[in-house]
Amino acid sequence: MTIAQEQATWFAQTFRQLADNVEQSVIGKRHVVELVLTAMLSEGHVLLEDVPGTGKTSLARALAQSVEGTNTRIQFTPDLLPGDITGITVYDQKTGEFEFHAGPVFANVVLADEINRASPKTQAALLEVMEEGRVTVDAITRPVGSPFLVIATQNPVEQAGTYRLPEAQLDRFLLRTSLGYPDHAATLRILGGAAIPTADLAAVITPDALVGMAELAQEVYVDPLVLDYIARMVDATRSAEQVRLGVSIRGALALTRATRARAASQGRTYATPDDVKALATAVLSHRLILHPEAEFDGVTPEAVVGRVLLDVAPPTHRESVSERG
């Protein structure tokens, strides 16, 4: 089943309303806001690499407020335990039964602040829930609900006392991006008090409606030529000489899902190669493991993806991807 044009138009309007609402608290970061919304509507998760004080917490809270959802924040530290994230089972002496106390991961938007400061064992507590949307404690599996978005942060400058995220963890993030500092005009607006506190934001849609949007996005038509374009890009990352480990099939699927969501956010019933190009760096770069020699020479994963975008030709039969629907 393919999304109808009326549905795509409604999707784009609602997407803009959500982005406008979030941007009232996170001023001057429209592109990042739209990327995070795209990830949420693709049922994926986001890794923000930023220095402190750039608005990461405000972004998570504003997003939760906009979808009338719940929001939690987990401060990752070296002494954090897996049970502090997922929850624990406690014995109730009055009833003589074990009772489950849900952890902060049971929320619609979870901010995992400075995720790389926790031990690998604690980081691993997020692996199941990020992939399957459920938590298993004491052999009992519990869903965390929908929508579910993890926004994890790590400081790219301060590395003392941190643990590098393993490849399996990085691969579960649909995209990686950065808020960065606002420009001069946005800074003046923020200093002038233009940013609305997240608690004062009005909800745009309900959680159930957002789940419906995510389902609608996956009905966007993707032409076989566009799928072939994605596959060729992924193959190119694996054969690049600077790359030790290229993009996995999970990464290719993530790019396809995000491409569908972006097309719907533009009010289209079909995806184009431009949708792929717009998302490729954010979705693919953090999945690349470079050779040490390449890193020493200053090569970055973003540069490798940029080269792939230049080398891999997009589909030439544009009518096959633009006249559908």
Q: Write out pLDDT tens, residues 260-275.
A: 999 999 999 999 999 9
What residue type is 77 in one-letter code? Answer: T
Burial group, residue 29, by CB count within 10 angstroms (0-12, 13-18, 19+): buried
How far, in Å, CA of 303 to CA of 290, rounded?
A: 11
Alpha-helical runs (H) found in the chain: 5-23, 30-41, 56-66, 83-86, 120-123, 127-132, 167-170, 184-191, 207-217, 224-239, 249-265, 273-284, 292-296, 301-311, 319-322
pLDDT at residue 54, rounded to an integer:
81
State the average pLDDT over residues 83-101: 88
The yes-or-no verdict on residue 158 having pLDDT over 70 is no
Average pLDDT over residues 226-254: 94
Q: Hey, what amino acid is at 257?
A: R
Average pLDDT, the chain: 91
The structure tokens 């792929």 sit at 276
Among 241, 247, 321, which Cα is nearest to 281's? 247
pLDDT at 55 over 70: yes
Predicted local distance difference test score (pLDDT) of residue 318? 52
pLDDT band at 210 (very low <50, low <70, confident <90, very high): very high
> Quick one: pLDDT band at residue 217, thresholds 50, 70, 90?
very high
| Sequence-ordered list of residues with C-beta below 8 angstroms from that of 293, at least 6 positions apart, any chain | none
Which run of H or of E encompasses 160?
none
* Structure token digits, residue 240: 């690049």
Residue 112: strand pairing partners: 74, 152
Region 5-34 average pLDDT: 95
Strand, helix or coil at 149? strand
pLDDT at 154 over 60: yes
Span 76-89, mean pLDDT? 92
Burial of 283 (0-12, 13-18, 19+ CB in 10 A): buried
Question: What is the mean predicted confidence (pLDDT) over 210-224?
Answer: 95
pLDDT of residue 160: 67
- Tell me which residue has tokens 């929320």: 107
pLDDT for 112 beyond 60:
yes
27 sits in the region (left: phi over 0; alpha: psi -120 to 50; else beta) called beta
**Nearest-angstrom CA–CA distance, 74 and 111:** 6
Higher model confidence: residue 180 or residue 223?
223
Residue 95, pLDDT > 50, answer: yes
Q: Poorest-confidence range of 43-47, 54-58, 216-220, 247-251?
A: 54-58
Radius of gyration of the chain (CA): 20
Peptide bond into 166 cis (omega under 30): no
Question: Averaged over 265-293, what is the pLDDT?
Answer: 95
Residue in the structure block whose two tokens are 């995220």: 165
Q: Assign 23 a pLDDT band (cuts: 50, 70, 90).
A: very high
pLDDT band at 94 (very low <50, low <70, confident <90, very high): confident
Per the rule left: phi > 0, alpha: psi between -120 and 50, beta: everything else, 263 is alpha
| Rounded average pLDDT over 175-203 | 90
Mean of pLDDT values over 136-152: 91
Q: Which of 98-107, 180-189, 222-231, 288-297 has the highest mean pLDDT?
A: 222-231
- pLDDT confidence of residue 164: 82
pTM: predicted TM-score of the whole model, two decimal places: 0.91
Q: In this predicted structure, what is the pLDDT of residue 322?
A: 47
d(CA 198, CA 58): 7
Residue 38: pLDDT band by 50, 70, 90 thresholds?
very high
Give residue for tokens 């607006």.
189
pLDDT over 80 at 1, yes or no: no
Gap between the Cα atoms of 73 and 76, Å rounded: 9
